[in-house]
Structure 1
Amino acid sequence: MRLKDKVTMITGSGSGIGRAAALLFAKEGAKVIVNDVSEENGNKTVEEIKQHGGQALFVKADITVAAQAEQLVQTALDAYGKVDVLFNNAGISGVGAVHETSEELWDKVVNVNIKGVFLASKAVLPHMMERKEGNIINMSSCIAEIGLMKRSVYSATKGAVLALTKSMQVDYAPYNIRVNALLPGTILTPFVENYLKNSYDDPEEALNTIRKRQLGGELGRPEDVALAAVFLASDESKFMMGSPLYIDGGAVFGKMA
C-alpha cells in the first residue's frame, strides 16, 4: 500500500500505460481519478479497479481545453477534497519527417502532448501550492534524448515536456511540490500494435526491427512504466526533483557492438 489514501489523477488512463498505472495505483491504495476522452475506455478502467476492491472515479475531459481541465480538477476536489498526485500521461504520436508532417498533425500532437500537460498542471497547481504539498509526474520519452527516424513532432513535444519538467521543479520546489518525468522506450501498447498493423506490410518484421533498439531485445510492457510511476508517486522518491527516469530497456545509454 505504497500510495495509501493518496488521491491520484491520471490523464489518458482509458488504455495503455495510463490504464496500467491506474490499476496499479489503486492496488497500492490510491484513490484514482481516471481521465480520458473515451467514456467507454475510461469506465472500463474504473470498473476493473472496483472489481479488485479499489476506489476510482471517471471524469471525461479533454485536457487540451482549459475549462475541461479545470473541471477535471474541481471534480476531484469535490469528490475527495484534495489531489496529491497528477500524472500527465495523456499523449499521442505523429509519424513523419518535418517535410512530411502536415500543419494539422503538428498542431494536434503539440496540443495534446504539451498544451495538455500545461493546462492540467495549471489547473491543479494552485491547490497544491495552497496545501504546500504535491507531486506531478510528466510523461516524456527516451526520444527526448535520441534521434529517431520520422518522429519529428513527437520528439519535439517530448523534449519540450522534459524541459518543462525541469523548469516547473525550480518554480514549485518552494511549495514542497515535486515534478519529475518518465522517459519510456518503445512500449507494446494497443496504440503501437495498431500502428504496426496499419503502417507496415509486414508488422512482425517491423516489430523485430523495433525490438533491436532495446538491449534486451524486447519491448517494454505498460506495467513496466506503471511500476516506475508508482515509485515517483510514492514517498520513496521524495529526494527526486526535476529528474528524468528512464524505462527504455537501454535504448538511450546502451548500444550493442
Structure 2
Amino acid sequence: MTYGVKGKNAIVTGAYQGIGKSIALKLASHGVNVLLVDLNPEIHSIVTEEQHQVEGQLFSFVTDLTNSENLTELVEFSKEKFQVIDILVNNAGIMQTKPFLDITEEDWDRVLSINLKSVFLLSQAIVAQMLTQKEGRIINISSIAGRSGRPYSPHYAASKAGIISLTKSMAEAFGKQNIRTNAICPGVILTPMMEEIYEKRRNLGESPEEKFLQTIKLDRLGTPEDVSDTALFLCSDQSSYINGQALNVCGGYEMD
C-alpha cells in the first residue's frame, strides 16, 4: 500500500522507547524523515542503531519539552534539518500511580506540564509554520484513561482528557487551512512504562495482566506497533477526511 508520506518530514516526541520509538521508526520505514525528540540523551543511539534499517533520514534532539526556551531551540533545529515540518506527533508523557489523596501539588503540576502543557506549546510553535505551507498533520497521543478516569492516577487521566479536548480545539481552529489534528487513545500497551505500572500494582497485591485481559475484548494486550500502524494511517492520504477525532486503539477495552 502507498501511504503518500514518502519524503515528508516529521517530529516525534518521547521517541526513545515504547510507542514513540515505534511511531518514529514506522514513519521512517515508509520514507519519512524523522526528528526523534526525548529528554533521555540515549535518544542519539537510536539514530545510530536504526538508520540503516529505514528509508527516511533520522535525526535526534535532547530537550525538556516543558521549557518554552527549549522549544524555540527545537523548532530552529528542525527548520535547519527539514525546512518544512509536515507531521508532528506529540507522544511525550509520564504516568504516576498514586492514590488520589496522596497526590501532591507538585505531582499534579509535573504530570500536567509534561503531558499537556508541552503538547500545547510545541503544537503552537509548529502550527505557526504549518500555516505558511497550508498543510500539516498533527497526532496527539492521549489514552483511554482520558475517557473514563483512573482512581490511582487522576492527574494522568486529567492530562489525557485535556489532550482530547485540545485536539478538537486545534481541529476546529486549523482544519480550513488543511491542518488535520487527531488523537490516538491507546489502551493497555506493552511498553517499558506499562511494565513499571504493572510492577507497582503487583506490589499492591493485584494481578494486572489478568485484570486487563478480563476486559479487553480481543483477549490480548496491545503492542506499540498497534499504535504506530494507526499513526501511519492518520498521517497518510488514506485518512484525508479524518479530523478532530480521538481513535481508541485498545482491543475493545473502551468502546465510547
Cα deviation 1:24-62 (Å, max 9, x = unaligned) = 11001100000000111x123212331214310001111
Secondary structure of 1:200's counterpart equals helix
Q: Which structure 1 residue ranges, 5 or more long, are not aligned?
A: none
Displacement over 3 Å in runs of 4+: 201-204
Instruction: Give the aligned partner of residue 75 of structure 1.
Output: 77
TM-score between both structures, scaled by the size of structure 1: 0.93
The residue type equivalent to 2:229 in the other structure is: L
Whole-angstrom distance in 2 between the partners of 1:91 and 1:37: 11
Cα deviation 1:74-122 (Å, max 9, x = unaligned) = 2111111110000000011122343121111111100001111011101
Instruction: Give the aligned partner of residue 53 of structure 2.
Output: 52
Whole-angstrom distance in 2 between the partners of 1:147 and 1:153: 9
TM-score between both structures, scaled by the size of structure 2: 0.93
Aligned-residue offset at 1:202:
8.1
Q: Choose from 135, 138, 141 the match for 1:139.
A: 141
Instruction: Give the aligned partner of residue 230 of structure 1.
Output: 232
The residue type equivalent to 1:184 in the other structure is: P
Distance 1:237 1:203, change over 3 A: farther
Identity level (%): 34
The residue type equivalent to 1:172 in the other structure is: F
Instruction: Give the aligned partner of residue 249 of structure 1.
Output: 251
Whole-angstrom distance in 2 between the partners of 1:198 and 1:94: 10
Instruction: Give the aligned partner of residue 66 of structure 2.
Output: 64
Q: Choose from 6, 9, 18 the match for 1:7.
A: 9
Whole-angstrom distance in 1 between the partners of 2:213 and 2:193: 16
Instruction: Give the aligned partner of residue 153 of structure 2.
Output: 151
Report if the CA contact (8 A) 2:97-2:197 is conserved: no
Instruction: Give the aligned partner of residue 191 of structure 2.
Output: 189
Instruction: Give the aligned partner of residue 126 of structure 1.
Output: 128
Aligned-residue offset at 1:173:
1.5
Aligned-residue offset at 1:252:
1.1
Aligned-residue offset at 1:244:
1.0
Distance 1:161 1:202, change over 3 A: closer
Report if the CA contact (8 A) 2:25-2:54 is conserved: no
Secondary structure of 2:149's counterpart equals coil
Aligned-residue offset at 1:144:
1.7
Whole-angstrom distance in 2 between the partners of 1:199 and 1:99: 17
Secondary structure of 1:14's counterpart equals coil
Whole-angstrom distance in 2 between the partners of 1:112 and 1:227: 24
Distance 1:98 1:198, change over 3 A: closer
Q: Choose from 220, 223, 235 the match for 2:222.
A: 220
More displaced stretch, 204-213 vs 183-192: 204-213
Aligned-residue offset at 1:171:
0.8
Whole-angstrom distance in 1 between the partners of 2:231 and 2:154: 26
Whole-angstrom distance in 1 between the partners of 2:95 and 2:185: 15
Whole-angstrom distance in 2 between the partners of 1:43 and 1:69: 18
Report if the CA contact (8 A) 1:14-1:44 is conserved: no
Aligned-residue offset at 1:199:
4.3
